[in-house]
Chain A
Amino acid sequence: MSTGPQLHDLTIVGAGERLRSGDVTSVDLLEAALDRAHRTEAQLHAFLTLDREGAGAASQAADADLAIGRDRGPLHGIPMALKDNMCTRGLETTASSQILAGYRPPYDATVVTRLRDAGAVIIGKTNLDEFAMGSSTENSGYGSSYNPWDITRVPGGSSGGSAAAVAAGSAFGALGSDTGGSIRQPASLSGIVGLKPTYGTVSRYGLIAFASSLDQIGPLSKSVTDAALTLGAIWGHDPLDATSYSGAYPDLTADLDKGVSGMRIGVVSELAGEGYEAAVESAVQEMVGDLAGAGAEIVEVSLPTFEIALSAYYLIAPAEASANLARFDGIRYGHRAPGASTEAMMARTRAEGFGPEVTRRILLGTYALSAGYYDAFYGQAQRVRAAIQDDFARAYRRVDALVSPTSPTVAFKAGDRVDDPLAMYLSDICTIPSNLSGHPAISVPIGVDDQSLPIGFQVMAPALGEQVMFRVAAEVERLAAFTARPVIAEVAS
């Protein structure tokens, strides 16, 4: 290997340049990623499945295509990882649950089809909190993942495996899913870029559903441009998803170099104060100052309904999850326990197959939807949702984008919050409002604290405002000049 930055450190853009200049092949890129995985998986446990065979064939096909001048675009030949709640035909997909151990989907998720059509090389499936329920990946049914910056700490969740893989260089990019912050928070804790697009712009067909009105698939990557290119490859109307947006989609990369001069940027006053680590707050404030220096007008904005957004989320998400997870009943696929009747079999299967957090949320959701409680809990939460959208609409009459920390804290120690569900839920306080409103939001790494733990900066924009979001995010990335990479003691596994 040459000295200096290694192949696995390249961005998707950088790897693409080396591919097209003939300097490296897709097979080389894959080998670099697999080698990196081989050396770091014992510490990180980012992956549930590494598909050497499938990825090998795909990388060879990518090289053959390029050799005859067939260039499928920016993801061509690039090894990408997928959170294991996205169906990959014939390749085990578990949603990190024991209830789906050994399940091989009979179809590909739409995002998987689109990645394959874009020439991407799917290297494997990454670890997550079971059914995407969690903020640390400690709820995985197959063991936790760890943070490349400090392997005694969590990578965040629920897309912790994808975040760890990208941060470590075991994949050049990854897809995750975000229901309450599950892409952005792990991106923030792992020092990479992660975003949730406008609801409806990325197909949910083949995404194992958690909360259908909140779930969205999005990219995790080393740079803002990589994220924009990945989103461009996977988004767009899909007739297989009844909630898919069929109108015009914005140009994602047009404004990346425009800077923020003349833009109005709102700082959300509710997303600060008690519970926020000093290092996080000072890094965010410093970046806000830098944005002002770069020509943006900074406005303090209050969105009072943010104070009850977490409460609304912890009624809506479990309620929808209780309905979505009813299909796991031991009849057609997955785990089946013995039982003398169908009902007994189902109840035993589900008790055996689901972990404690999933069980807790199913119970919570079932209760919130049951007769006599529906209106006070679920109905009221849906009214709060409308109020949150009003607050956002009011704010966006005054500003073009909103900013905040992505997470109140840096990566916490493994085990710190597992016994305190409420403390765990507070990890998502900055990210949840965008899921409830359906708006896009991105996390960009801006620095580290005095223990070298990454800090993420969140940029939010109105629905279908990805162009504005990326414009601000690109400037944040330039101003931060965050080039640090985690040092992982390599151990061959």
Chain B
Amino acid sequence: MPIDIDIAHVARLARLDLTEAELGAYKTQLGVILDHAAKVQSLEGEPHPETAHPLGFVNAFRRDETRPSLDREEVMEQAPARQDGYFVVPPPLDER
């Protein structure tokens, strides 16, 4: 069952900057894997419910009370770029 994948669109959604050659290779590989994965369509019998949690647990809540967070300085030490307690990032749009 050939599946035509808009691989450039998928890569954009996934924020992956891939070359044309890479996109071509991944498109082929995905086709092969999805062909195999499409076997899930062969499930017979009564329709089953979609099951996300293996043991059917539902919401786990905690008390609405403040408690200490992570150490801010320790967290900021991991930042690739920082200033005055902020993470520094490139502008949202290319301003050039």
Contacts and interface: CB of A to CB of B under 8 A. Distances in A.
B14 A322 contact: yes
Contacts of A331: 80, 87, 89
Contact of B16 (A350, A377, A438): A350
B52 A106 contact: no
Chain B contact residues: over half helix, strand or loop, or mixed?
loop
Contacts of B79: 332-333
Given A242-B60, A308-B42, A366-B13, A339 B90 contact: yes
Nearest to B71: A106
A245 B51 contact: no
Given A213-B54, A350-B17, A370-B13, A341 B78 contact: no
A249 interface: no
B95 interface: yes
Nearest to B81: A336
Nearest to B77: A104
Given A348-B17, A359-B26, A436 B54 contact: yes
Interface in A103-122: 103-104, 106-107
Contacts of B11: 363
Contact of A380 (B14, B16, B40, B90): B40
A360 B29 contact: yes
A247 to B, nearest CB: 10
A199 B55 contact: yes
A119 B87 CA distance: 37
A390 B87 CA distance: 49
A141 interface: no
A383 B90 contact: no
A368 B38 CA distance: 11
Interface stretch (A25-33, A132-140, A292-300, A310-318): A310-318
Given A200-B54, A359-B26, A367-B34, 18 more contacts: A213-B54, A239-B62, A242-B60, A245-B57, A307-B39, A315-B40, A339-B90, A341-B93, A348-B17, A350-B14, A359-B16, A363-B14, A367-B10, A376-B41, A382-B51, A383-B50, A386-B51, A422-B36
21 contacts: A106-B70, A200-B57, A213-B54, A214-B54, A239-B62, A242-B60, A244-B60, A245-B57, A311-B36, A314-B33, A333-B80, A340-B91, A341-B91, A341-B92, A347-B17, A351-B17, A363-B14, A381-B40, A382-B52, A390-B48, A421-B29
